[in-house]
Chains A and B, each alone.
Chain A
Amino acid sequence: MALTSARGWQFRQPSVLPGFGLALGVTLLWLTLIVLIPLSGLAWRSSALGWQTFWSLATDPRTLHALWISFGCAFLAALVNVVFGVMLAWVLVRYRFPGRRVIDAMVDLPFALPTAVAGIALTTLYAPNGWIGAVLAPLGIKIAFTPAGIVVALIFVGLPFVVRTVQPIMEEIDREVEEAAATLGANRFQTVSRILLPDLLPAVLTGFALALARGVGEYGSVIFIAGNLPYVSEIAPLLIVIRLEEFNYPAATAIAALMLMVSFAMLLVINLIQAWSRRRYGYGA
C-alpha cells in the first residue's frame, strides 16, 4: 500500500486479474462508436444551426406546445404512478393474497411489452366504443384521442419504474421500528405516515423522476391514443418525426437537442437524489 501511494496518481489500482486493457478497450471503442459519436453528431448539428436559428426554432409556438404537453402529461402520469405505485408496492411486500406472485410479475409487463402493442391496445380499450371507454362515455369522460389518453399511456409505461424502485427498499424496512412506534403509543396511521413513508422518500422521488424521464420521451404507446392534434395533443417526439418527414432537419434537430438537454437534466437530478439519499438515509434508492 505504501508503495502504491508513493507512486502518486495512477489510473488504476494494481490487480492480479488480467484483461483490463482488452475489456476497457472494447468498452470504450463500442461506447464511442455507438453512443458518443452519434450523440455528439446531434450536438454538432444543432450548434451548426447558429444561436439565432436555434432560438427561433426552439421558441416556435408549436414546438413549445408539444414540449409542454409531453412534460405536463408525463408529470401527471408520474404523480398518479407515485400514489398507486407506492400502494401497490406496499400491498405486494406486506400482504399475502392469492395471485400475489402473478401480480408481482405482471408489474414488469410495461417493460416487456412493445410500446406499439401497448399503444393500440390502450387506444382500443379507452376509445368511446372500447371496454373501458364505453363505460366512461355516458359519464361524459373522453380518454382516447385527448390529452387524457396521453396520461393513460404514460401511466402504463411508468408504473414499473415507481414500483421497482420503492419495493426493494420497503422489503428492507426494519419491523422493530414499527414496533417501537406502536409501543410508544402511535396508532397505525401515525406509524405509516410519520415513520415509514419519510424513509421511503428518496426511493419515491427516484421512481417519480425515472417515470417522468421515460414519459417525456415516450413515443410508441402515445401516438395511437393521443389524437395528435397540433397545440392540443401533439407530443414533442411526434413533432420531431413530423419535421423529419417534411425534411425539415434543422427543426427536428433543435427539438431533439432540447429534449436531450431535458434528459440530461433529469439524469443529473436522479443522480443528485441518490447521492443525497446515500448521505441522509444510508441507501442509494
Chain B
Amino acid sequence: MAHEATLPATLAASSRPVRSATTESHLARLTLIAVSLLFVALFILAPLVLVFAEALRNGTGEFLAALTDSDTLSSIRLTLLVAAISVPLNVVFGIAASWAIAKFEFKGKAFLTTLIDLPFSVSPVVSGLIFVLLFSSHSLLGPWLQSHGIKILFAVPGIVLATVFITFPFVARELIPLMQEQGTADEEAALSLGASGWQTFWYVTLPNIRWGLLYGVLLCNARAMGEFGAVSVVSGHIRGVTNTMPLQVEILYNEYSFVAAFAVAALLALLALVTLVVKSLLEFRYSAQIAASRRH
C-alpha cells in the first residue's frame, strides 16, 4: 500500500514532464520553430508587408491617385479581360481532359498526362517566345495574318494565347487525381437509372468535383492575372493598350514611380492573399475531397 502511494509522488517530484520517445527535446523544438519562423519571416512575410508599406508610404491619397491613373486603369481592365477569357477556356479543357483521363482506361494515358503538364516546365519567357516565332512577320503565318489585317502579336489575342498556355495545366491537374479517386460508380449508377450522359455529368459528376474545380479555377485565375514573363514577351508594352497589371508594375518601377508601382503591386498582392485565404478555407472544409490533389 505504501509503495503505491509513493510511486506517483516520485514521478511528480521530478517536475519535468516525461518526454515522449517520438519527439525532440524542448530546446530542439524551440530552435527548429524559431529558425523556421525566421526563414518564413525574412523570405515570405517581409516582401508581402513591404508591398503594402511602400504603397501607403505617402498616405492613402497618393495610393488611390496612383490607382486611378488612366494607364493603370486600362491595365486593370486588360488583366480582367485576359483572365475572363483564358480561365473559362482552361476550365472547359480541364474538365474534358480529366473526364477522358480519370474515367477511362486507354493506351498512352500517362504520356498524355505528361504532355498536359508540359507548360509547367517551360520557362515563361520561352512560352512567350514560341508565340512570337509563330506569329511574327518573319514566320510562316505572319505575312498571311498581316495581309488579312489580323493582329495577334503585340495585341490582346497574343496576350490571351500566352496566358492560356501558361495556365493550361492548372484545372486539369486539380481535377484528374480527384476524379480518379472518386471512380466511376456514381456515374454508372446514374446511367443505369436512365440518366443521359449530360444529365449524369451535370447532376452527378459536377457536384462531386465542384470544390476541386473551384480550387483549380482559383489557382488558374491567380496565375492568369499575375503572369509576367510570357505576357511581357508577346505584349509589346504599348502603354494603355497592351499593358497588363504586372507589366504596368514593371514600367512604373523602372520610371522610379515607386509609390505607383507598389500601389498596383498591392492590388495584385491583395488578389494573392484572397486566393490564399479562399484556398485555405477550401482545404479546411473539404480537405478529404481536395487531399487527392494537394500536390502542385
Q: Hey, which bits of chain A sit against chain B, CB under 8 A? A: 11-13, 15-20, 22-24, 26-27, 30-31, 34-39, 41-42, 45, 84, 87-88, 90-92, 94-95, 97, 101, 103-118, 120-122, 124-125, 131-132, 152, 155-156, 159-161, 164-165, 168, 175, 178-179, 182-183, 188, 191-192, 213, 216-220, 224, 236-238, 240-241, 244, 249, 252-253, 256, 259-260, 263-264, 266-267, 271
Please determine whether A224 and B253 come into contact, CB atoms closer than 8 angstroms: yes
Of B1-9, B66-74, B143-151, B273-281, which stretch is located at the interface?
B273-281
Cβ-defined partner of A94 (8 Å) among B23, B200, B276: B23
20 sample A-B contacts, Cβ–Cβ < 8 Å, listed by A number: A11-B107, A15-B105, A17-B103, A19-B99, A26-B92, A26-B96, A31-B115, A34-B168, A39-B130, A97-B33, A105-B279, A108-B276, A111-B219, A114-B249, A115-B124, A117-B269, A125-B46, A183-B21, A188-B23, A220-B246
Cβ-defined partner of A122 (8 Å) among B28, B47, B279: B47
- Most chain-A CB neighbours within 10 Å: which of B28, B112, B130? B130
Q: Which residues of B contact A45 (CB under 8 A)?
A: 133
> Is residue B164 within 8 Å, beta carbon to beta carbon, of the partner chain?
yes
Given A35-B118, A97-B33, A244-B132, A109 contacting B48 (CB threshold 8 A)? yes
Given A26-B96, A116-B228, A116-B265, A15 contacting B124 (CB threshold 8 A)? no
The A-contacting residues of B in range 141-196, CB under 8 angstroms, are 161, 164-165, 168, 184, 187-188, 191-192
Cβ-defined partner of B272 (8 Å) among A20, A112, A120, A240: A112
Please determine whether B280 and A101 come into contact, CB atoms closer than 8 angstroms: yes
Please determine whether A117 and B100 come into contact, CB atoms closer than 8 angstroms: no
Please determine whether A125 and B47 come into contact, CB atoms closer than 8 angstroms: yes
Please determine whether B36 and A87 come into contact, CB atoms closer than 8 angstroms: yes
Of B10-18, B37-45, B206-214, which stretch is located at the interface?
B37-45
Q: Which residues of B contact A22 (CB under 8 A)?
A: 96
Please measure, in the bound complex, the distance between the C-alpha atom of A256 and the C-alpha atom of B96, giving whole angstroms: 31
Please determine whether A109 and B114 come into contact, CB atoms closer than 8 angstroms: no
B157 to chain A, nearest CB (A): 13
Q: Which residues of A contact B23 (CB under 8 A)?
A: 94, 188
Considering only CB atoms and an 8 Å cut-off, how many residues of chain B contact the other chain?
A: 102
Given A19-B197, A241-B233, A253-B133, A110 contacting B125 (CB threshold 8 A)? no
Given A35-B168, A105-B280, A117-B265, A219 contacting B123 (CB threshold 8 A)? yes
Please measure, in the bound complex, the distance between the C-alpha atom of A256 and the C-alpha atom of B233, giving whole angstroms: 13
Please determine whether A114 and B226 come into contact, CB atoms closer than 8 angstroms: yes
- Most chain-B CB neighbours within 10 Å: which of A107, A114, A217, A249? A114
Please determine whether B115 and A36 come into contact, CB atoms closer than 8 angstroms: yes
Q: Which residues of A contact B105 (CB under 8 A)?
A: 12-13, 15
> Is residue B58 within 8 Å, beta carbon to beta carbon, of the partner chain?
no
Please determine whether B115 and A108 come into contact, CB atoms closer than 8 angstroms: no
Please determine whether A117 and B295 come into contact, CB atoms closer than 8 angstroms: no
Pick the 10 closest A-B CB pairs, nearest first.
Answer: A217-B123, A114-B226, A182-B21, A12-B106, A220-B228, A18-B197, A121-B47, A219-B229, A237-B125, A112-B272
Please determine whether B125 and A241 come into contact, CB atoms closer than 8 angstroms: yes
Q: Which residues of A contact B126 (CB under 8 A)?
A: 42, 217, 237, 240, 256, 259-260, 263
Q: Which residues of B contact A30 (CB under 8 A)?
A: 93, 96-97
Cβ-defined partner of A263 (8 Å) among B33, B121, B228, B253: B121
A-contact 0/1 string along B112-140, CB 8 Å cutoff:
10111111011111100111111010110
Please measure, in the bound complex, the distance between the C-alpha atom of A111 and the C-alpha atom of B279, giving whole angstroms: 12
Please measure, in the bound complex, the distance between the C-alpha atom of A153 and the C-alpha atom of B280, giving whole angstroms: 25
A141 to chain B, nearest CB (A): 13
Q: Which residues of B contact A27 (CB under 8 A)?
A: 93, 96-97, 100-101, 112, 116
Cβ-defined partner of B294 (8 Å) among A39, A122, A164, A175: A164
Given A118-B47, A131-B46, A217-B123, A237 contacting B229 (CB threshold 8 A)? yes
Given A113-B226, A220-B229, A188 contacting B33 (CB threshold 8 A)? no
Please determine whether B50 and A124 come into contact, CB atoms closer than 8 angstroms: yes
A sample of 5 more A-B contacts (CB under 8 A), given A87-B32, A159-B44, is: A15-B105, A20-B103, A91-B32, A116-B246, A266-B121
Please determine whether A121 and B129 come into contact, CB atoms closer than 8 angstroms: no
Please determine whether B123 and A237 come into contact, CB atoms closer than 8 angstroms: yes
B256 to chain A, nearest CB (A): 12
Cβ-defined partner of A114 (8 Å) among B161, B268, B295: B268
Given A220-B124, A260-B126, A156 contacting B47 (CB threshold 8 A)? yes
